[in-house]
């Protein structure tokens, strides 16, 4: 009798908590499903390879894809070396209790918590006004060239934003390399620098790659920091110079969804754009998650 | 040999110097966001248009009019009351927590206490995937799908309101709250569960009366981290909240938050003007508040991790 009362309580509670998990999974399924169902009819080679036409109601989104890819590429070039070296410092060089190491660690943690819109303000205040403005003053007699929104400034802003992602995943990757490998290299007479760069780093490469993928996925999806550091709604030309503005998938979604005069006419393009953005980020995230869980299993 | 040692020495210095970049980044963000807000306090030109007191206290905008809080920076007499924005930010954040915390904590309880390992292998990556969806896509979803669904179901007067924005926002903080709560629940020593079960309590009773209370500091930290995250989120509220700066406790009216205000107005302001400075002031405020929430939450999580390290 008592046994069955227990069983009923257990089943009821498992059902209650399980349904909470189910609601979350369902929400995820509805979001992905809605975008897939409404977006796929629009999806075609023309859509990803052509420019928009007729006031954004026809044509494709190629310039937005191009801009996003270029933006993320520049960001990666900036963030990977700095992030990886910072992680090497934290894991291989720093005395863990030293004040400097603790300050770096706390800075990384706090950086991860800064709201993305504040990064946007930082991009305007630091990169555009301060760095760009001073370049213009010193080299171009005050002609405004660098002191305005540009793909370079947007990508550097995103690089600062994704720095914690790269640092944390790289540190995790370094942790998976057995200590004996370092000791063996040192015992054979290599310097610490050689041991780390010739022995440890190659082994940590898959983990560092995971971090790079996560950073790219994050950077490709962030819209708030680029709103006023370089994104434009429509440009007749693709960006070719570092001080050009660029079109961007996330910004395109934002403007199409909120500022379109005729939402029904732009809706197919809007859903198509969301689908492309979602495909890019979901595939990258999925790749990183599987890569990471495989690595964890291998080294656990 | 000497050359190799020199390289080794130089590399160590370079690496430490590069590591300083993380500290520099946080310092520069703070410095350059605050720097643009300073004219509010020392520039006569800016103070002619707005003073800090006007941003805080209710103002009579016309001769003999009732003093009120009003955010209308683009009107003929620019009005910069922060009260509607601050209240709006808290309102949306609280709605988001009301959606997200019960779902995320219960789902974490399910993962930690009831789910088979195979089920856990589905739930955890799915929630990680939810964390990977760009916020502009969630904002789009809240705007196009949730708003229509809520209006059809509840008949809201405003299609876009704090409830729609809060629900969308809830989706972004579910992963944070879930992950930290699940860590906290699995950190509860197994002996607690065994003792409770041995005394004849059911698994449900054990989960509710033993494991959940034991993990409550960690779950509190999860909520604090979720709060900080929700407050700073921009795109979802920008797209789904209606963006009307109305000072009201009613969650069914349109609302304007601090991040959405910065995002919507930054593109159109005069560089260095009063409006510009006020927006940077809002950014500094946001930076400091989210930093303290994250610090508080992070401190709890770090303490938790140390405890796990101690018992394992």
DSSP string, B203-228: HHHHIIIIIHHHTHHHHHHHHHHHHH
SS (H, E, C) B114-176: HCCHHHHHHHHHHHHHHHHCCHHHHHHHHHHHHHHHHHHHHCCCCCCCHHHHHHHHHHHHHHH
Geometric angle at alpha carbon B199, from B195 and B201, rounded to 5° = 95
What ipTM was predicted for this assembly?
A: 0.91
> What pLDDT does residue B310 have?
47
On the CB side of B213, CA atoms within 13 Å amount to: 7
- Which pTM was predicted? 0.91
Output the pLDDT for position B311: 45
Per-residue pLDDT reduced to its tens digit, A169-178: 999 999 989 9
Instruction: Please tell me the predicted confidence (pLDDT) of residue A294.
Output: 80
Quick one: what percent of chain B has pLDDT higher than 70?
96
Contacts 24+ apart (CB under 8 A), A78-82: A78/A155, A78/A156, A78/A159, A79/A158, A79/A159, A79/A160, A79/A162, A79/A163, A79/A166, A79/A215, A80/A166, A80/A208, A80/A212, A80/A215, A81/B18, A82/A159, A82/A163, A82/A166, A82/B18, A82/B21
Of residues B134 and A236, the one with the higher pLDDT is B134
Q: Which of A21, A103, A257 sits opposite B110 (nearest CB)?
A: A21
- Cβ contact B218:B287 at 8 Å: no
B26/A111 touch (CB, cutoff 8 Å), yes or no? yes
* CA A11 to each of CA A113, B10, B34, B206: distance values in angstroms, whole numbers, following the listed order: 39, 63, 55, 13
> What is the H or E stretch that residue A53 is in?
strand A52-53
Instruction: Output the pLDDT for position A290.
Output: 83
pLDDT at B257: 94
Closest to A24 (Cβ–Cβ): which among B103, B204, B266?
Answer: B103
> Based on C-alpha coordinates, what's the Rg of chain B?
24
Residue of A nearest to B173 (CA): A24
* Residue linked to tokens 């054990």: B206
- Residues of chain B neighbouring A20 (CB-CB closer than 8 A): 102-107, 109-110
Q: Are A279 and A289 in contact (CB under 8 A)?
A: no
Residue A228, pLDDT above cutoff 50: yes
Of the partner residues A7, A103, A191, the one whose CB lies closest to the CB of residue B8: A191
The answer to whether the CB atoms of B33 and A118 lie below 8 A apart is yes
Q: What pLDDT does B139 receive?
A: 94
CB-based contact A24 B23, cutoff 8 Å:
no
Closest-CA residue of B relative to A220 is B134
- The closest of A163, A263, A87, A208 to B19, measured between CA atoms, is A87
For A127-180, how does the pLDDT look when each residue is reduced to its tens digit (9 = 90+)? 999 999 999 999 988 788 898 999 999 999 999 999 999 999 999 999 989 999
**pLDDT (0 to 100) of residue A250:** 94
CB contact under 8 A, A104 and B114: no
User: Minimal Cα–Cα distance from B109 to chain A, Å?
Assistant: 7
pLDDT at A9: 87
d(CA B24, nearest CA chain A) in Å: 9
Q: Cβ contacts of residue A202 below 8 Å, gap of 6+? A: none
Q: How far is CA B208 from the centre of its chain?
A: 28
What would the mean pLDDT of A220-243 be, rounded to a whole number?
89
pLDDT at position B55: 81
Taking the CA of residue A279 and the nearest CA in chain B, the distance in Å comes to 10
Q: Chain A contacts of B266, Cβ < 8 Å?
A: 120-121, 124, 227-228
User: Could you tell me which chain A residue has the CA closest to the CA of B178?
Assistant: A21
Give the pLDDT confidence score for residue B137 in this predicted structure: 95
Backbone angles phi, psi at A58, to 5 degrees: -145, 175
Cβ–Cβ of B228/A113 closer than 8 Å? yes
Dihedral angle computed from the Cα positions of residues A175, A178, A184 and A185, in that order, rounded to the nearest 10 degrees: -40
Q: What is the mean pLDDT of residues A194-219?
A: 92
**pLDDT mean across residues, chain A:** 90
Size of interface A-B (CB pairs under 8 A): 272
CA dist B104 and B180 (Å) reads 10
Q: Is the pLDDT of residue A186 over 90?
A: yes
Asked whether the beta carbons of residue A253 and residue B136 sit closer than 8 angstroms, the reply is yes
The stretches in chain B having pLDDT less than 50 are 310-312
Amino acid B312: pLDDT: 36
Q: Who contacts B167 (Cβ-Cβ below 8 Å, separation ≥6)?
A: B95, B96, B99, B142, B146, B150
A116-128: per-residue pLDDT in tens?
Answer: 999 999 999 999 9
Of all helices (H) and strands (E), which one includes residue B79?
A: strand B79-80
């Amino acid at each position: 009798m008592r046994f069955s009362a227990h069983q009923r309580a257990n089943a009821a509670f498992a059902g209650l908590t399980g349904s909470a998990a189910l609601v979350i999974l369902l929400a995820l399924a509805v979001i992905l499903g809605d975008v897939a169902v409404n977006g796929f009819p629009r999806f075609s080679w023309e859509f990803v390879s052509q420019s928009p036409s007729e006031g954004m109601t026809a044509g494709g989104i190629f310039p937005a894809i191009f801009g996003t890819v270029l933006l993320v590429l520049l960001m990666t070039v900036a963030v990977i070396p700095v992030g990886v070296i910072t992680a090497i410092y934290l894991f291989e060089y720093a005395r863990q209790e030293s004040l400097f190491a603790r300050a770096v660690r706390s800075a990384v943690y706090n950086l991860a918590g800064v709201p993305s819109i504040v990064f946007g303000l930082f991009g305007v205040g630091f990169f555009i006004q301060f760095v760009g403005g001073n370049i213009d003053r010193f080299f171009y007699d005050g002609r405004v060239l660098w002191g305005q929104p540009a793909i370079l400034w947007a990508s550097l802003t995103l690089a600062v934003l994704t720095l914690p992602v790269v640092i944390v995943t790289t540190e995790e990757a370094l942790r998976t390399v057995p200590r004996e490998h370092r000791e063996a290299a040192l015992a054979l007479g290599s310097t610490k620098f050689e041991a780390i760069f010739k022995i440890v780093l190659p082994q940590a490469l898959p983990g560092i790659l995971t971090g790079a993928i996560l950073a790219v996925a994050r950077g490709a999806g962030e819209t708030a920091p680029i709103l006023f550091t370089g994104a434009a709604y429509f440009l007749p030309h693709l960006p070719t110079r570092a001080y050009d503005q660029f079109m961007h998938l996330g910004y395109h979604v934002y403007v199409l969804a909120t500022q379109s005069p005729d939402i029904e006419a732009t809706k197919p393009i809007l859903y198509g754009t969301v689908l492309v953005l979602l495909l890019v980020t979901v595939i990258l995230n999925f790749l990183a998650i599987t890569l990471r869980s495989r690595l964890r299993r291998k080294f656990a | 040999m000497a050359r190799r040692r020199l390289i080794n020495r130089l590399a160590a210095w370079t690496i430490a110097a590069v590591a300083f970049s993380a500290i520099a980044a946080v310092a520069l963000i703070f410095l350059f966001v605050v720097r643009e807000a300073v004219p509010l306090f020392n520039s006569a030109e800016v103070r002619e248009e707005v003073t800090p007191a006007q941003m805080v206290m209710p103002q009579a905008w016309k001769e003999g009019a009732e003093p009120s809080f009003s955010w209308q920076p683009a009107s003929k007499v620019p009005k910069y009351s922060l009260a509607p924005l601050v209240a709006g930010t808290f309102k949306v954040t609280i709605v988001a927590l009301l959606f997200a915390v019960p779902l995320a904590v219960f789902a974490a309880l399910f993962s930690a206490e009831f789910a088979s390992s195979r089920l856990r292998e589905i739930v955890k990556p799915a929630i990680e995937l939810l964390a990977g969806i760009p916020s502009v896509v969630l904002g789009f979803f809240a705007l196009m799908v949730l708003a229509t669904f809520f209006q059809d179901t509840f008949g809201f007067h405003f299609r876009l309101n704090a409830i729609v924005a809060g629900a969308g926002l809830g989706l972004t903080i579910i992963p944070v709250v879930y992950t930290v709560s699940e860590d906290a629940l699995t950190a509860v020593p197994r002996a607690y569960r065994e003792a409770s079960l041995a005394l004849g309590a059911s698994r449900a009773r054990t989960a509710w009366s033993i494991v959940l209370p034991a993990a409550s500091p960690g779950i509190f930290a999860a909520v604090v981290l979720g709060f900080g995250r929700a407050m700073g989120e921009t795109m979802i509220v920008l797209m789904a909240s209606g963006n009307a700066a109305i000072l009201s406790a009613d969650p069914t009216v349109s609302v304007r938050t601090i991040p959405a205000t910065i995002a919507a107005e930054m593109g159109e302001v005069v560089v260095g003007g009063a409006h510009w400075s006020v927006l940077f002031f809002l950014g500094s405020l946001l930076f400091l508040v989210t930093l303290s929430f994250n610090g508080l939450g992070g401190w709890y999580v770090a303490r938790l991790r140390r405890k796990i390290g101690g018992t394992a």
